[in-house]
């Protein structure tokens, strides 16, 4: 029977590539985006390749919007097999110089959006006694980085949320839980983050400025020295998502590249895929 998949944030990048790849591989794809006027590129690929993709509106920070998209899927298919929490947004700014509105926004999009989408699909997956929830986090969900503390904090929160779920919903209801942890991906992500964060072309001011300039110079140097190894394409990350979806026993944590693996090694070497910690928690608490 054809498996269906709901993917958030499919207007660009990893979400866009995943929608196409999953459909090419035989899944029924519900490609969701907050602004369907950005669907033109996806519509063209769907038409050109006659793909089994339906585009739905879904704003991850609004539970009504999530509920409405999920209801549509349930009405059509009577089930939901896979949720991919992909929507997210970068943010690079000091905590001191971020507004309350910005702090709420970066947390809403990256963390609460994942929680709300998961909350809405869980009752259907529990009743089905099957399902899979995959969240795209980041190496920033494991390692805090300068000027990215608010983004990293939100991605750490997603990691903790998913880890907690993995300790009981998999065994009880056959709902598989995984976090995908990419390093850099060449998508719209940086452009969107810059547009969102910069004030008059500046990301940091005052005593933070020289530290920020050192950070940016280091970033540029690393990127120019090793572009291929640091940055993956959206399609490469989509291919990792597909492998996880096809895996009967997917791990909790998956870095998507050697660069990402090396970057997180100090945090992950004791338990690279998260299985040991999940088993330890299960045996001590359940
Ligand atoms: N690019 C990187 O370097 C990188 C590295 C590690 C992890 N990641 C993670 O990878 C995932 C995909 O990012 P990407 O690289 O493909 O970036 P992207 O091209 O900027 O795509 C992000 C997607 O999320 C959507 N989105 C943002 N806010 C939303 C909201 N409130 N409701 C619904 N959709 C929303 C965007 O929609 P709009 O087009 O409407 O803005 C877009 O479709 C994200 O979770 C990101 O945090 C990215």
Which residues belong to the active site? 151
Distance of CA 89 from the midpoint of ligand 1 (Å): 5
Establish whether residue 142 lines the binding site of ligand 1, counting it when its CB lies within 6 angstroms of any ligand atom.
Answer: no
In a domain, 225, yes or no: no
Q: Is residue 72 part of a domain?
A: yes
Ligand 1 centroid, distance to 273 Cα (angstroms): 24
User: Would the CB of 59 count as within 6 Å of ligand 1?
Assistant: yes
Supply the pLDDT for residue 204: 84
Burial string for 166-181 (b: 16+ CB within 10 Å, else e) reads: bbbbbeeeebbbbbbb
H or E stretch including 212? helix 209-225
**61 assigned to some structural domain:** yes
34 lines ligand 1 (CB under 6 A): yes
Q: How many CB atoms lie within 10 A of CB 129?
A: 10
Q: What is the secondary structure of 128-196 as a DSSP string?
A: HT-EEEEEE--GGGTS--TT-HHHHHHHHHHHHHHHHHHTTHHHHH-EEEEEEE-SEE-SSHHHHHHHH
* Domain span at 11: 4-200+230-285
Indicate whether residue 38 lines ligand 1 (CB < 6 A).
yes
In this predicted structure, what is the pLDDT of residue 245? 98
Q: What is the pTM for the complete model shown? A: 0.97
Report the Cα–Cα distance between both ends of the chain, in Å, rounded: 34
Q: Whose CA is nearest to atom 44 of ligand 1?
A: 88
Looking at residue 118, its pLDDT comes to: 99
Does residue 188 sit within a domain?
yes
- Residue-wise pLDDT for 225-252, tens only, equals 766 678 899 999 999 999 999 999 999 9
pLDDT in tens, 134-145: 999 999 999 999
Low-confidence residues of the chain: pLDDT under 50 = none
Distance 189 CA to ligand 1 centre (A): 6
Number of domains in the chain: 1
Bridge partners (DSSP) of residue 54 are: 30
> 3-state SS of the chain: helix, strand, coil percent to 5?
55, 15, 30
What was the pLDDT predicted at 228? 65
Atom of ligand 1 nearest to the CA of 11: 43
Q: Is residue 40 part of a domain?
A: yes
User: Which residue out of 7, 14, 135 has the highest number of ligand 1 atoms within 8 Å of its CB and is therefore the one to mutate?
Assistant: 14
Q: Closest Cα to atom 17, ligand 1: which residue?
A: 189
Has residue 220 been placed in a domain? Answer: no
pLDDT given for residue 227 in this prediction: 61
Q: Whose CA is nearest to atom 43 of ligand 1?
A: 9
CATH of the domain at 10: 3.40.50.720
Atom of ligand 1 nearest to the CA of 9: 43
Tell me if 254 CB under 6 Å of ligand 1: no
Let me know if residue 160 belongs to a domain. yes
Q: How far apart are CA 29 and CA 245, in angstroms?
A: 13
């Amino acid at each position: 029977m054809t498996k269906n998949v709901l993917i958030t944030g499919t207007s660009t990048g990893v979400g866009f590539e995943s929608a196409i790849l999953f459909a090419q591989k035989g899944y029924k794809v519900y490609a969701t985006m907050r602004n369907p006027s950005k669907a033109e590129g996806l519509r063209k690929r769907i038409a050109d390749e006659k793909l089994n993709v339906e585009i739905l509106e879904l704003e991850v920070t609004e539970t009504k919007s999530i509920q409405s998209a999920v209801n549509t899927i349930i009405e059509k298919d009577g089930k939901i097999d896979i949720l991919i929490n992909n929507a997210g947004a970068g943010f690079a700014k000091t905590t001191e110089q971020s507004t309350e509105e910005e702090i709420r926004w970066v947390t809403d999009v990256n963390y609460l959006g994942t929680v709300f989408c998961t909350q809405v699909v869980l009752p259907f997956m529990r009743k089905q006694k099957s399902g899979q929830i995959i969240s795209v986090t980041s190496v920033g969900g494991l390692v805090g980085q300068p000027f990215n503390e608010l983004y990293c904090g939100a991605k750490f929160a997603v990691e903790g949320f998913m880890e907690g779920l993995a300790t009981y919903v998999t065994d009880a209801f056959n709902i598989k839980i995984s976090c995908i942890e990419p390093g850099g991906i060449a998508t719209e992500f940086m452009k969107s983050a810059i547009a969102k964060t910069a004030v008059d072309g500046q990301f940091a001011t005052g005593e933070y400025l020289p530290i920020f300039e050192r950070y940016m110079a280091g970033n540029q140097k690393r990127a120019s020295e090793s572009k291929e190894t640091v940055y993956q394409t959206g399609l490469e990350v989509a291919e990792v998502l597909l492998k996880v979806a096809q895996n009967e026993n997917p791990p909790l944590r998956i870095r998507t590249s050697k660069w990402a693996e090396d970057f997180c090694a100090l945090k992950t070497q004791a338990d690279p895929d998260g299985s040991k910690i999940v088993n330890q928690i299960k045996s001590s608490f359940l």
